[in-house]
Structure formats: structure tokens, C-alpha cells
Amino acid sequence: MAPVTPAPRAEPERGPALVAFLLRRVLQSIVVLLIVTMITFGLLRMIPGNVAVAVMGPGVYRDPAAIKLFNATYGFNLPWYQQYFLWVGHLARGNLGFSWTLNQSVASLLASRMSKTVILVGISTIVALVIAIPIGVIQAVRRNKLTDHVFNAFSTIFYATPAFLVGIVAILLFAIKFPILPPEGPQGEGFGSVITNFSALILPIGTLALITIALFSRYMRSSVLDNLTEDYVRTARAKGASERRVLIRHVLRNSLIPIATLLGLSLPGILAGALITESVFNYPGMGYLFYQSALKQDYPTLLGFTVVVALATVVGSLLADIAYAVLDPRVRYVSS
Amino acid sequence: MTLNLPPGPPPGPESSSMGLATVTTEPAAAAAAAPGMLPAGKPRSAFRRGLDVFLENKLAVTGVAIFVVMFLFCFLGPVFYHTDQVHVNFAIENMPPSAAHPLGTDANGYDVLGRLMVAGQISLEVGIAAAALATIVGVLWGAVAGYFGGVLDATMMRIVDAMLSIPTLFLALVVVAIVTPTTPILILVIALTSWLTTSRLVRGEALSLRVREYVQAMKVMGGGGTRAVLRHIAPNAIGTIMVNATFQVADAIALVVALSYLGLGVAPPKQDWGGMLSDGVQYVYDGYWWLIFPAGLCIILVITAAIFIGEGLRDAVEVRLQQR
């Protein structure tokens, strides 16, 4: 019997399907962003009263010419659909609006605040991942044992604790009772002053990370549990791989793939957590400014930031989906 | 598709309860048909088995107990423990706990224990009502999108995607900045920003339910889309919906707390637990712990309880689904 040389396995052609998938996904994201602008514009229209009066004060009622000039300058005399297209046109060119309360363009406000939020969210997410992944794995391996229950209790309690309470308790403990860290976030303007004052950043990062860990570790636990029941685990064990090798080389690697999606999905939640954390620690990032704008009813800033945050989320989940499709060859790019 | 249905009158209004009745008995019948699934003796309903699983879960039972105690505390408590929660009394502001005021008084001279009760009423009311409203909107939205499919589904789901991409807290802050918050408005705002995950879940269920035989049979008999959504899709997804609604309560309470902390909750003299915390935080450097920890504990307890109940319900529903 002549040995049969195995025919080269026919690799399914992924290229065109992947491109089609990416195209559809990008198109979807653009539609979603357009709907975001419609929702935001709808909110803008919900604001009671006259914008001119809101900006220039009630005294302007005595001067109808001024109101007319204001409306003509900013396009408020146009029909609503023209206002919408005008606004979207400006958005597309990067003009996010002008904050009359702060007398500054929303884009410049964003530029000065965004790096701070990115530092806070970025570092705390990395910290949370580094801590949550091992916890999730341990919980899954020791499922329904004491370790699992203890971590489960902690993650539930931290999930249930309002972010600001975590922050306040952190201040009480590490800034007042044992004054080792400053109670406020770095106050300086710009990127450099934040990095050089890193000790002030520890409490905000710790607060945001604690809340995120609670979210991530639960997800990781169920992801590992799902993978432990897969056939390839049985195959690896049958081939004599040690339990440690099965866990690290096979299960962990596969369980990490959904984390890409998780990061995309949890971005809105993390940004909301950042808003609270920034408010507690008086840290002048995007979230804190958003909150201040809500108190001062600074609508241009609120709406401009809403669009930017939505853009970040949409792009984030798009990247997550792409990463998922590239990492996991089992993903089929057929529409549901 | 089976077309050999027994001839009979088309479903009229008198048989309108049929939908629900069939739904509840169907899993039980399926389980009874499966051999070895039941102990010898009286066959038990799917609901009973789910209930048994739920009751075996100690955390879930603890969660229910916490909820009941909190309800009694907030709604019955003021009947037995009279305090003035309207008139400010600066003569007794920020008093530490004493015999007259077991949990001290706050900056306005309100008794903190009594305040916890009244504030809890608002937190629980807003949390539960918002979750209920969000569930109704989400179920209808998801069921309609999933059942009808096509362009309608795509459009409805892109709207959900768009709203999901704006963090709930951000959206709620914008709305609350535009309209002055009262209890009904808070309920509406929170409901309108948190029905999205429900609608996604229900859409998924609807996609799988709409090809089931009984839905097809109903279509053959001339049933319309409204009937399918209200009588078949929504009731059959009830397990998923209930589990999700419980988690919604937890999230809604957390959102009210966050809004109140940011100073955008209900207007004084009314207050919820988040508002109490927010006020107490101003005295954090003075060591007035009784202004922070009792309210914080109430929030953590209620949200944890809701999560435990939700997890217990999920296990119970999964047992039911496995046997379907």
C-alpha cells in the first residue's frame, strides 16, 4: 500500500468575505453615527425657550433687532431640517460648536480635556484587565468552591457600590485617615503636569479600576467556563497535556478573544464611571467638564461632547469587532 | 410547515387567553414527555421546578429577604417612627447618634433614620418603576423588530445601537439639564435611557420564536403581527425578560443615585439615598460618618439584593429552558 500523501488542506478563502464584512460593519457604524446626530439634534430642539435669550439674558427681549441678528448669525432663523444639515455639516468638518458660557470653542475645550480622560481611562482599564483576568481564571477553575464564592461576593459588592462612594471611601482612608496620597486629582493644565504629579492620579485610577475589575472578572469567569467545556480541552487532556498547560496554552488564549468585544462594549460604562470619578477627585477631564456643563446648562458643550463620546464608542466597538474577526477564524462573516 | 390543523373557528376574542395558557403548559408537557426527567409521582409544573431551583439558591433567597425588609422599612417604618422630614431645624443640625436620634441628624436637622425611610421610598419607587417601564418599552421594541425582521428590524436596531453608544449617564445628564427633574420625570428619563439591552435580548428571542410551529400555526389561522408579538413572542420570552428586569432595577437605582450625587436628582425637601450621600459627602472632612455610611449601606444592600435575585431567577429560568 503506497503511502498517501495528504492533499493540501483547502483553506477557505477568507479575504473577500473579510473585506465584505468590514465594509458592512463600517457602513453600519456610519448609519449609527447619523442616528446619534439626529437624537442629539432632537435633544437640542427640546430645550425650552429661545436660544438668543438663553445666551444674552432676558434683557434682550427689549431689543428684537439683537435677537434677529443673533438668529441670523447662528442660523436659528432657518427651518429645523436646514439647521440639522448645517449642524451636521459643521460636525463633519470638526466644528463641534461654541460654548457661550465658557467663551471657547467646544473643540478646543475637548482638546485640552481629552488627554486627561484618556490617561485615566487607559491606565485604569489596563490595571483592571491585569487584575481581573487572573481572578476570572481562578474563579472558573475553582468553580463553586470557597475561592470562587469569596471573589464573587467581592465583585458583586463592588458592582453594587456607587462609584462615588468607592472614591469617597478611598479619600477617607488614604488621604485623611492615613494621609499618604493627595485627595484630589492632578490639577495642572496639560499632559505633562498630569504625568509629573502621578501620586495624585493613584486614587482616581484605583477607584475606576476597582469598579471595572468587578465587571471584567465576571465576564472572564464565564468565558473561561465556556471554554473549559469545549472539545479541544478534552483533546488536549487526552493527549496528556498537563492541567497547567491546558489552562494557559489552550483555555486562556481562547478565553481572551471575547475580551476584545468586552472592551468595546464596556467603553460607555467606563466613561460614565470616569465622569463620576473625575467629579469626586476634582480631576479636570472630559467627564468633569460634561458634568459642570450640565449644571450650567451649557448645551453646546453637552451636545458636542455627546457626539464625540458616541463617536469614540462606535469606533471602539467597530475596532473590537474587527479584532475579534481577525483573531478568531471561526467567526463567519455572514449577515444574520 | 404543518397544515393539517384541526378545523375549527378562527381564534376570536373569546379565546384570547389561549395564548398565555398554552405557553405555561407547553414546557410542562414537553418535560412530561421526556422520560427519566421526573421522579415517580405527581408531575410538577415548570414553574414549580423553577421555584424549587430558586429557593435552593441561598443568595437569591437572601436577596428577596433584603428587599422585603427594605420595603417594610421604607414604607411601613414611618408609620411607627414619626419624624419631621419637611421643616428645617438648625438647632439640632449634624448631631451624632443619640437616644432621641438613633442615627443622628443631618445638616438641616432632619433625623437620619427617618430620612433613610422617606428617601428609600423615592429610590425604590424610581428604581422599580423605571425598570418596569424600560422593560415594557424594550420588550415591545425588541419583539416587533425581531418578529417582523427586514428593513424595520435593521432600522430599529440601528436606533438601539445609536442610543447604546451614548453612555446612559451622559444622556440622562443632558435630559435632566433640559427638564427640571421630579420623580415622574426621573422615572421617564431613566426608563428611556435603559430599555436598550432589554430590546436586544428580546429581539434575539423573537428571532428564534417566530419560526416555532405554534407561531406559524397562528399565522395560518389568520393571526396578525400584533397578536404574535403580544400573545406569543413576549410571553414566551418571559424568563429572559424577568431576569433582565431584575438587573434593570439594580441599574436604575444606581443611576438615580449617580444623578442625585451629581445634584440632578429630585428637588428638596424630597431626597433619595443618593441625595443623602451627596449631602453627607460635604462633611466628609468633619468625620460625620452617620451622614454617609447608613445611606451608602442601604444602596449597596438593595443593589446587591437585586443582583442576587436576578442570578437566582436566571438559574431557575435556565433549568426550565433546558427541559423545554
pLDDT of residue B128: 92
CA angle, A115 then A128 then A165, to 5°: 85
Helical (H) or strand (E) element with A70: helix A64-74
For B150, the closest chain A residue by CA position comes to A336
**Contacts A44 to B, Cβ<8 Å:** none
The alpha carbon of residue B3 is apart from the nearest alpha carbon of chain A, in Å, by 28
pLDDT for position A329? 66
Contact A324/A316 with Cβ under 8 angstroms?
Answer: no
Q: What are phi and psi of B273, to 5 degrees?
A: -60, -35
What is the SS3 assignment for B263?
coil
pTM for the structure as a whole? 0.79
To the nearest 10 degrees (0 to 180), the angle between helices B168-178 and A15-46 is 20
Coil, helix or strand at residue A83? helix
* Percentage of chain A lying above the pLDDT 90 cut: 4
Cβ neighbours of A28 in B, within 8 Å: 158, 161
Q: Is residue A151 predicted with pLDDT exceeding 80? A: yes
The per-residue pLDDT for range B64-97, each reduced to its tens digit, is 999 999 988 888 888 787 777 777 777 777 777 7
Least confident interval from A8-22, A180-194, B160-174: A8-22
User: Which H helix or E strand runs over A168?
Assistant: helix A163-171
pLDDT in tens, B103-155: 777 777 777 788 888 888 988 999 999 999 999 999 999 888 888 888 888 88
Q: Cα–Cα distance between A104 and A94 in angstroms, integer?
A: 15
Residue B15 banded pLDDT, cuts 50, 70, 90: very low
Instruction: Note which residues in 238-267 of chain B have CB less than 8 A from chain A.
Output: 250, 254, 257-258, 261-264
Residue B129 is predicted with a pLDDT of: 94
User: Does residue B159 sit at the A interface (CB-CB below 8 Å)?
Assistant: yes
pLDDT category, B28, cuts 50, 70, 90?
Answer: very low
**Cis peptide preceding B13, ω within 30 of 0:** no
Interface of B with A in 292-311 (CB under 8 A): 292, 296, 299-300, 303-304, 307-308
3-state helix vs strand vs coil in chain B, percent to 5: 70, 0, 25
A-chain residues within 8 Å CB-CB of B171? 306
Q: Which residues of B130-148 are buried (b: 16+ CB within 10 A; e: fewer)?
A: bbbbbbbbbbbbbbbbbbb
Give me chain A's average pLDDT, please. 81
> Which amino acid, one-letter code, is at A257?
I
Say if the Cβ atoms of A160 and B300 lie within 8 Å.
yes
- The residues pairing with A98 across neighbouring beta strands, listed in sequence order, are A105
* CA A76 from centroid of its chain's CA atoms: 33
Q: What is the ipTM of this complex?
A: 0.78
- Nearest-Cα distance to chain B for A3, in Å, is 48
CA-based nearest distance B312→chain A, Å: 14
Option in A39, A46, A272 nearest B163 (CB)? A39
Q: What values do phi and psi take at B11, rounded to 5?
A: -60, 120
pLDDT value of position A330: 65
Q: B285 touching A, CB under 8 A? A: yes
Check B261 against A176: CB less than 8 A apart.
no
Q: What is the pLDDT of residues B274-308, one digit of tens each?
A: 888 888 877 877 777 788 888 888 999 999 999 88
Distance from CA of B292 to the nearest CA of A (A): 9
Could you tell me the pLDDT band of residue A270, with boundaries at 50, 70 and 90? confident
Amino acid A15: pLDDT: 67
DSSP letter at B111 equals B
Put simply, the answer to whether A164 touches B258 (Cβ < 8 Å) is yes
B188-199 residue pLDDT tens: 888 988 898 889
What's residue A99's pLDDT?
Answer: 82
Shortest Cα distance, chain B CAs vs residue A48, angstroms: 7
Contact call for B164 and A276, based on CB within 8 A: no
Query: B152 touching A, CB under 8 A?
Result: no
Between the CA of residue B290 and those of A164, B58, B302, what are the distances in Å?
A: 17, 31, 19
Q: What is the pLDDT of residue A124?
A: 92
